[in-house]
Amino acid sequence: MTTAILEARKLTKSYGDRVVVDHLDLSCRRGTVLGLLGPNGAGKTTTLRMLYGFVPPDEGTIYYDGKRFSEHRENAKRMIGVSTQDDSLDYDFTVAQNLFIYASYFRPRVEDLAGRVAELLDRFDLAPYADASPHVLSGGYVRRLLIARSIVHRPSVLFLDEPTTGLDPSARLDVWELIDGMRAEGLAIVLTTHYMDEAERLSDELLVIHEGRNLVHGEPHHVIDSVLGDHVIIVPRAEPAREAIASWLRARGAEQVATVLGELRVPVSKEDLAALTARFGDAVWQVRPPNLDDLFIALARRNGRSG
């Protein structure tokens, strides 16, 4: 296993009395995608802002390539690329000029910048729009340009903050391909997303944050197993024993009994499933493997949010 190019230890940030990020550890290796997940208000954005250098942590240390960010800030910022969630393109310039002007904010200067811009325009299918204003681009192409811009200076670590929000399914898949390609080239990518399928399919590792703390970290299947267990049962709205099943599961210690559009969704262990089958053999329910959607819903309920 290669060493992490990005590593953060015990990151902590408070605003007033509220601890937003609480002794969070994370790391990301070259050629991997780290999915940063958590419900709204979990502390993802604040974590990212500390990693970009927008805000300093109250406690903890960030390392890029083994060097402290606080002591080697200029070099570290040369190593990172950021694709923000909001559209921060420079609409005073054309598509190609956006890449040129963005590169001018880095030193040492980008070698063979004209060649690099041409390469990115081609690779991100932006060449036909090179001389056009970004205003003419569709949502998917705006996102392509944001990502292309964030790697114009050949960074080693790339932050993608909700890169597919608002895109249609086809555009999402295109962005997935681009992310996969950048990972293959050795970029360390930190990805935040609200799309669980995206996180599950793109991430080599997941870090789930809950109330500013590291809830669970590891490969996607490990994360799901450790939070949710072996199975999820879904009891339809029409099942007469639905409430009885819910009460019975709660009595056995199930904490994550969720109702979605009238359906009961409960993560259960193998043992609970066997006991449930014995107790409610006549009832109708479905069993499926848990996924990140279940995890997200469970965390959101724990956090007192609707979803």
Query: Residue numbers of the site for another protein (CB under 8 A)?
Result: 49, 52, 54-56, 74, 77-78, 82, 84, 86-93, 101-102, 104-107, 149-150, 153
Cβ proximity to another protein: between 104 and 277 the closer is 104
Cβ proximity to another protein: between 110 and 297 the closer is 110
Cβ proximity to another protein: between 92 and 243 the closer is 92
Cβ proximity to another protein: between 105 and 111 the closer is 105
Q: Are the beta carbons of 9 and 50 closer than 8 angstroms?
A: no
Nearest approach, Cβ of residue 110 and another protein (Å): 12
Nearest approach, Cβ of residue 91 and another protein (Å): 6
Nearest approach, Cβ of residue 158 and another protein (Å): 11
Nearest approach, Cβ of residue 126 and another protein (Å): 17
Cβ proximity to another protein: between 153 and 217 the closer is 153
Cβ proximity to another protein: between 106 and 248 the closer is 106
Nearest approach, Cβ of residue 269 and another protein (Å): 42
Task: List C-alpha distances in Å: 278 to 77, 244, 289.
Answer: 59, 14, 20
Nearest approach, Cβ of residue 64 and another protein (Å): 13
